[in-house]
Amino acid sequence: MNQWITFDWEALGANFWSATVDGLTFGGIYALVALGYTLVYGVLNLINFAHSEVFIVGAYAIVFTLTSLGFGPSVPNLAWYAIAANLLLAVIFGMLAAAITAFIVERVAYKPLRAKGAPRLVFLISAIGMSFVIQYLIFVWRGPNPEPSVIMFKNEAIFDIGGTLIYFDSILIVTAAILMMVVVDQFIRRTKLGRGIRAVAQDPDTATLMGVNRERIIISTFVIGGLLAGVAALFYVMKVPSGVLYMGGFLLGIKAFTAAVLGGIGNVRGALLGGLLLGLIGNYGQILLGSAQWTDVVCFVVLIIVLMVRPEGILGSNLGKVRA
Amino acid sequence: MSRSTKALAAVAALTLALAGCANNDDGGSDNDNSSTPELEVQTSIDAPDDAVSPAGDGKAECPATTTLAYIGAETGPNAQLGINILNGIQLAVNEHNEANANCQVKLRKFDTEGDPNKATGPVTQATNDENIIGVIGLPFSGESKATGNIFEQAGLVHITPSATNPLLTTNGWTTFFRGLGNDNVQGPAVPVLAEKLDADKVYVVQDDSDYGIGLATSTTEALGDRLAGSDKVTTGQKDFSATISKILSAKPDAVFYSGYYAEGAPFNQQLVSKGYEGIFIGPDGVKDDQFIQQAGDASGNAYFTCPCVPGELITSFADAYKKVSNGAAPGTYSVEGYDAATVLLAGIDAGNQDRAKLKEWVKSYDAQGLGKALKWDETGELSELPVYGYKVQDGKIVSVGVIE
């Protein structure tokens, strides 16, 4: 064998801008899923390992909705506003399905254990259990293959920046991800429910004494995480029209969880930063090292370095510290 | 036909032709790319007259415990290949048992999900069952590599209908037989097919499986200086944007994806949606209807190489197959599964009813199968074999005949 690792700076230079745009696009999707991990962690100090399945249920709902609206493997022959209306309908169903799944996960895997005061490790296991239960329920129902692909629209190049074509879907996804993040951030800073979430994150016992309904806050964070996962699912299906299968959420879930930790788990802005960074790092690393087999290695090396310097993630990890 | 209708027909034909041209002009990104030569589609293949039938002479006798097994994917991301094989086997066993009242061979199934990490369990389970005297499997190269020693120790003969990594026959296993040509046959067929399609520069993308790596190596060698570049992806990957951006700047005439359809389909879909207008070539692991389902309209640019016989073109086989598959037509490796099962069933009928005898039977086997002649050398390889070319036409995979 010759060299087992080579650095292809020339390829990175030649593909820098397209790698950047694509990295940000997938990073936006990671970020939206990462929010679900971060919110639940902020409030409960627990990782919801079933969140990847919340996401994939949303993706199924979107594919089913679009298929029944007549979308399929060909670019739909519809005006842009008709497509937009259809996608809006699909994302509403996706958000609903994901939110309901998140609600059920909380009711089945978290609430009964919380009522009994179970140790933290038990929640972790019950969430992993829920993750498998949902995966294999889908498997039994839909079989081993992904759903047939659903093409949403003809993806046109909008800009040409120095030879790099910027496609419509990238612009849509990155803009929407940032927008959603601002909405969630403002929601947590400014609304009554947001104040309750922050209060429970800071000190659950005191918050309860002050009249905050802790159970309601917890269920709300699960549902908000689910709604965001539904939006992420729309963009995921847009980018990967044939990626919806029973285990399809698993890898993406790990990426999103990593993004949340990288940005600072429990921190809403950290989720966005972590997601976008992870998308970029993965893409640069893959081109530089000439193989997607390095993508995850590069991502995790960066994660470890960041955590060595800043153990709480780039932006710190406390949801409760956010000031209105 | 009166004169006026003739004239009308001529006008209509002319209009259609013009409309066709117009369509080509604005929608030329699909498979009607005018620079790509059309390959002639094969429509039927005659079954060889001397092919051994699993039914035999109908006079076979064997103990009621006689069992064959299929070990391979029934579930998992690449399950469809396993299901194609399993249906072929089931058909052979059914035909055998219907004809031979005194020899009812049982077929047991063990699911590996096609995963090398999960395959040792089912294989150990099968080798521990004394009633199992012969196995069809395992379908994939990685899992075959991981479990070959277990078969060897148990002295249990197994014929793989689809594992094509060349290194599998270099382990000294005496129980391993390969029912088709390996990647050393398939790799060199890629540049030949590309040449037929006027594709000069070929970009090679490989996944991280034993199969993908082996095939990419032999293809790259065969391409020589026609290689436009190469990149590596991983199993389970869904975002191929980095690889695609490298491909688009290399501007190849064709992209060869060395791996399975689970990644190959989304890869090609994303490639085409980013404006790639060249040809996509996949090996046998990509050639499946699932590829078309998952890649959607993007699959119109796809061609395949495969050491597999197009079973759907053998009418008698296709009709019988549909009865065990709930109406689905034979898929990739259905014929190979059927032929492998037939070899073992013929052995049982000839009185080879324990593991040692059945192994010797396969070793000295020399007869015509439905797909091809079956005779193995010392290592368990068949003599050199034809590779078929396939393409996607109107949402279906059709054979374009042997690549020579």
pLDDT digits (tens, 9 = 90+) for B167-191: 999 999 999 999 998 888 888 999 9
Q: What is the pLDDT of residues B228-278, one digit of tens each?
A: 999 999 988 888 999 999 999 899 999 999 999 999 999 999 999 888 999
Contact B265 A242 (CB under 8 A): yes
Contact A252 B238 (CB under 8 A): yes
Q: What is the pLDDT of residues A187-204, one digit of tens each?
A: 999 999 999 999 998 888
> Is A20's Cβ below 8 Å from some Cβ in B?
no
What residues of chain B lie within 8 A of the CB of A15, using their CB?
A: 242, 245-246, 249
- A314 domain-assigned: no
Cα B231 from Cα B252, distance rounded (Å): 13
State pTM to two decimals: 0.80
For tokens 């199968």, name the residue. Answer: B369
C-beta atoms surrounding B300 within 10 Å: 21
Q: Is the per-residue pLDDT at A1 higher than 60?
A: no
CA angle A199, A202, A208 (to 5 degrees): 50
Cα B313 from Cα B335, distance rounded (Å): 11
Cβ–Cβ < 8 Å for B135, B158: yes
Contact B240 A292 (CB under 8 A): yes
Of the two residues A223 and B331, the one the predictor is more confident about is: A223
Structural domains of chain A, count: 1
What residues of chain B lie within 8 A of the CB of A25, using their CB?
A: 241
Query: What is the rounded average pLDDT of the residues B102-123?
Result: 94
Contact A18 B241 (CB under 8 A): yes
Query: What is the rounded average pLDDT of the residues A105-125?
Result: 91
Q: Is the per-residue pLDDT at B17 higher than 80?
A: no
List, in sequence order, the alpha helices (H) in B168-314. Answer: 183-196, 210-223, 241-250, 261-273, 289-295
Q: Is the per-residue pLDDT at B33 higher than 50?
A: no
Helix (H) or strand (E) holding B367: strand B366-368
The pair of structure tokens assigned to A220 is 């709300």
Contact A72 B296 (CB under 8 A): yes
Contact A18 B245 (CB under 8 A): yes
Q: How far from chain centre, in Å, is Cα B79?
A: 13
Q: What is the pLDDT of residues A19-66, one digit of tens each?
A: 899 999 999 999 999 999 999 998 888 889 999 999 999 999 999 999
Provide the total of helices (H) and of strands (E) in chain B, helices listed first.
12, 14
Cβ–Cβ < 8 Å for A180, A32: yes
Contact A293 B234 (CB under 8 A): yes
Cβ–Cβ < 8 Å for A127, A49: yes
Q: What is the pLDDT at residue B85?
A: 96
Q: Which of A72, A283, A292 sits opposite B233 (nearest CB)?
A: A292
Average predicted confidence (pLDDT) for chain A: 90
Task: Give the best-scoring range by mean pLDDT among B29-33, B78-82, B317-321.
Answer: B317-321
Q: What is the pLDDT at residue A322?
A: 56
User: 3-state SS string over chain A?
Assistant: CCCCCCCCHHHHHHCHHHHHHHHHHHHHHHHHHHHHHHHHHHHHCCCCCCHHHHHHHHHHHHHHHHHHCCCCCCCCCCCHHHHHHHHHHHHHHHHHHHHHHHHHHHHHHHHHHHHCCCCHHHHHHHHHHHHHHHHHHHHHHHCCCCCCCCCCCCCCEEEEECCEEEEHHHHHHHHHHHHHHHHHHHHHHHCHHHHHHHHHHHCHHHHHHCCCCHHHHHHHHHHHHHHHHHHHHHHHHHHCCCCCCCCHHHHHHHHHHHHHHHHCCCCHHHHHHHHHHHHHHHHHHHHHHCCHHHHHHHHHHHHHHHHHHCCCCCCCCCCCCCCC
Name the closest residue on chain B to residue A287, using Cα atoms. B242
Contact B269 A241 (CB under 8 A): yes
CA of B2 to nearest chain A CA: how many angstroms apart? 40
- A317 domain-assigned: no
- A41 domain-assigned: yes
Q: What is the pLDDT of residues B71-90, one digit of tens each?
A: 999 988 778 889 999 999 99
Q: What is the pLDDT at residue B156?
A: 96
Q: What is the pLDDT of residues A164-180, one digit of tens each?
A: 888 899 999 999 999 99
Q: In chain A, pLDDT over 70 holds for what percent of residues?
A: 97
Q: What is the pLDDT of residues A94-103, one digit of tens each?
A: 999 999 999 9
Q: What are the backbone dihedrals phi and psi of residue B108, each rounded to the nearest 5 degrees, phi first?
A: -105, 150
Strand spans (E) along B225-342:
227-232, 254-258, 279-282, 302-306
pLDDT-based confidence at residue B35 (cuts at 50, 70, 90): low
Average predicted confidence (pLDDT) for chain B: 88
Q: Is the per-residue pLDDT at B32 higher than 50?
A: no
CA of A245 to nearest chain B CA: how many angstroms apart? 9
CATH of the domain at A262: 1.10.3470
Please identify among residues 193-212 of chain A the ones whose CB lies closer than 8 Å to any CB of chain B: none
Q: What is the dihedral of CA A301, A304, A308, A312, to 10 degrees?
A: 140
Contact A239 B239 (CB under 8 A): yes
Range of the domain at A145: 9-309
> Is A226's Cβ below 8 Å from some Cβ in B?
no
- Nearest CA to B387 out of B376, B368, B400 is that of B400
Query: What is the rounded average pLDDT of the residues B106-130?
Result: 94
Cβ–Cβ < 8 Å for B169, B176: yes
The pair of structure tokens assigned to A229 is 């996962």
- A36 domain-assigned: yes
Q: Which domains does chain B have, with CATH numbers?
A: 67-181+310-375 (3.40.50.2300), 184-306 (3.40.50.2300)
Task: Give the best-scoring range by mean pLDDT among A257-266, A292-301, B151-160, B378-387.
Answer: B151-160
Q: What are the backbone dihedrals phi and psi of residue B229, each rounded to the nearest 5 degrees, phi first?
A: 150, 175
> Is A166's Cβ below 8 Å from some Cβ in B?
no
- A323 domain-assigned: no
| Residues near B170 by beta carbon (within 8 Å), at least 6 away in sequence | B379
- A207 domain-assigned: yes
The pair of structure tokens assigned to B184 is 């050393």
List, in sequence order, the alpha helices (H) in B31-171. Answer: 79-99, 116-128, 141-154
Contact B245 A287 (CB under 8 A): yes
Please identify among residues 278-307 of chain A the ones whose CB lies closer than 8 Å to any CB of chain B: 282-283, 286-287, 290-293, 295-296
CA of A120 to nearest chain B CA: how many angstroms apart? 31
Cα B176 from Cα B157, distance rounded (Å): 6
Cβ–Cβ < 8 Å for A69, A86: yes
Name the closest residue on chain B to residue A252, using Cα atoms. B238
- A146 domain-assigned: yes
- A145 domain-assigned: yes
